[in-house]
Amino acid sequence: MNKFAKTAGVIAFCARAAILAATAAATIFQHGISATYMPNAAHITIIPWGDFFSNALLLALAGILCFRKKGDTRNRALIALYFHILAAFLFWNPMTASVSMMLASTKGAAYIAAKSALASTTSSLTYMFHIAGNAGFYMAAGSMIATPNDAPGGTLSANASEKSRARLVLYSGLLGFLGIDRFYAGKIATGIAKIFLALFGIASVVLSCGIQQFPFMLKFLPFIGYIIKQLADSLGSSLMKAPEAAGSLSSALSALSTETLVLILMALPYIPIIALGTADFVRAVLGKTRDSEGKPISAW
């Protein structure tokens, strides 16, 4: 690991630690903050578990990136970078915001006011640390990928595929949700399957943001969006009529609103997309992916 990557990684780690500390401080003193700006919400206590968990995860990734001495630095940087981007996608996407707002709206205006005051204060305290943390992480990972001074080169052996592992990793990381990595490896059927999963995922994002805000996208995805909405309405109606003897799960689901069921159904496509995409990327980085002839794509 070169000195530049080490320094940038340490900056990312320290910045992420500062974000956690600032978030904890804002949480501890939130009653005083709310009393200053919104006295009617001063009695409400909010613990931002999502912020704590996401920043703790990014802190761990920064630590793995710059403090672990053994192992292939290129592979470690690629996998850490992938999970860093995946965490950003999971915690800061439109669906997460929609769910958070929906849950907050059920607790009244005072709760929303307290939540807004805490979020505003935390953002003000951590803004520059977010910039430093992300910039340091990306620079460290990029330097380790570009100059893997302790990473094997990945030579082309007799039983290895002629396809490029670097190109496969790039396709998997950036366009893997569309199945481009599978097409590159020659696996057409599974590539098409990933495309269909991606279409349902895109439709979920559109619906979570509000269909009326994306009329241009409805020209391309009306059928998928209609199916998801109809499934949610049908499931909601069925569960509302389900007898109590159907079991505790049915009873719990029947108590949910149709809007909540819509959000649950919209989240379902993300599970196979994320699981399959992560598995494909890790296998590509480690040189374990095989082409249509069964040969490993291992040469960089």
With respect to residue 299, please indicate whether it lies within any of the assigned structural domains.
no
Same domain, 29 and 60: yes
pLDDT of 72 strictly over 80: no
Residue 55's closest CA among 98, 94, 95, 26? 26
Q: Which residue has the higher pLDDT, 206 or 137?
A: 137
The answer to the question of residue 289 being in a domain is no
Q: How far apart are the first and last CA of the chain?
A: 19
Residues 44, 18 contacting (CB under 8 angstroms): no
Last residue of a domain, one of 91, 116, 151: 151
What is residue 246's predicted lDDT score, i.e. its pLDDT?
Answer: 44
Q: Do 13 and 132 belong to one domain? A: yes
Q: Tokens representing 239?
A: 């569960």
Structural domain includes residue 288: no
Residues 203 and 141 in one domain: no
What does the alpha-carbon distance between residue 218 and residue 211 come to, in Å, rounded to a whole number? 8
CB neighbours of residue 12 within 10 Å: 28
Identify the residue whose tokens are 């990312």.
Answer: 12
Are residues 15 and 145 located together in one domain of the fold?
Answer: yes
What's the DSSP call for residue 293?
Answer: T
Q: Report yes or no on whether pTM surpasses 0.85.
A: no
What is the number of domains present in the chain? 2
Q: Domain range for residue 120?
A: 3-151
- In 117-194, beta strands by DSSP E: none
The pLDDT score that the predictor gives to residue 19 is 94
Query: Is 290 inside a domain boundary?
Result: no
Work out the angle between the directed axes of helices 109-146 and 49-67 (0-180°, nearest 10): 10
The residue-averaged pLDDT of 221-238 equals: 55
Give the pLDDT of residue 22: 93
Q: What angle do CA 195, 199, 201 make, to 5 degrees?
A: 115
What one-letter code names the amino acid at 292? S
Question: Does residue 117 carry a pLDDT above 60?
Answer: yes
- Mean pLDDT of all residues in the chain? 76
CB atoms within 10 A of CB 262: 22
Is 294 contained in some domain? no
How many angstroms separate the CA atoms of 264 and 275, rounded?
A: 17
Residue 86 lies in a domain: yes
Q: Which of 119, 151, 183 is the last residue of a domain?
A: 151
Q: Among 101, 122, 151, which residue terminates a domain?
A: 151
Q: Say which residue, 6 or 223, is predicted with more confidence.
A: 6
**Per the structure block, which two tokens stand in for 170?**
């790039």
Decide if pLDDT at 105 tops 50.
yes
Contact 261, 267 (CB under 8 A): no
Same-domain status, 130 and 8: yes
194 and 224 belong to one structural domain:
yes
The predicted-structure confidence for 211-220, as pLDDT tens digits, reads as follows 444 444 444 4
Question: What pLDDT, on the 0 to 100 scale, is given for residue 288?
Answer: 87
Residue 131 pLDDT exceeds 70: yes
Residue 94 is predicted with a pLDDT of 65
pLDDT in tens, 181-199: 899 888 888 888 888 888 7
Q: Does position 245 have pLDDT exceeding 70, yes or no?
A: no
Helices then strands, each counted (H, E), the chain: 14, 0
- Res 289 pLDDT > 60: yes
Q: For residue 296, is it within any domain?
A: no
Q: What is the average per-residue pLDDT within 283-297?
A: 86
Give dist(CA 235, CA 242) in Å, integer. 10
Same domain, 142 and 27: yes
Residue 24, both tokens: 């904890």
Q: Are residues 57 and 118 in the same domain?
A: yes
Give the model's pLDDT for residue 68: 73
Same domain, yes or no: 25 and 146? yes
Instruction: Output the pLDDT for position 244.
Output: 46
- pLDDT given at position 95: 63
Confidence band, pLDDT 50/70/90 cuts, at residue 238: low
CA separation for the pair 74, 92 (Å, rounded): 27
CB 44 within 8 A of CB 29: no
> How confident is the model at residue 212, as a pLDDT?
43
Are residues 187 and 131 part of one domain? no
- Domain co-membership, 74 together with 194: no
> pLDDT tens-digit profile of 249-269?
455 545 555 555 555 666 666
Q: Are 291 and 185 in contact (CB under 8 A)?
A: yes
CA-closest candidate to residue 177, choices 246, 280, 267, 291:
280
Q: How far apart are CA 134 and CA 120, in angstroms?
A: 20
Residue 226 has pLDDT above 60, yes or no: no
Are 146 and 178 within one domain?
Answer: no
Q: Is residue 62 within 8 Å of residue 18, measured between CB atoms? A: no
Tens of pLDDT, residue by residue over 49-69, are 888 998 999 999 998 888 776
215: in domain = yes
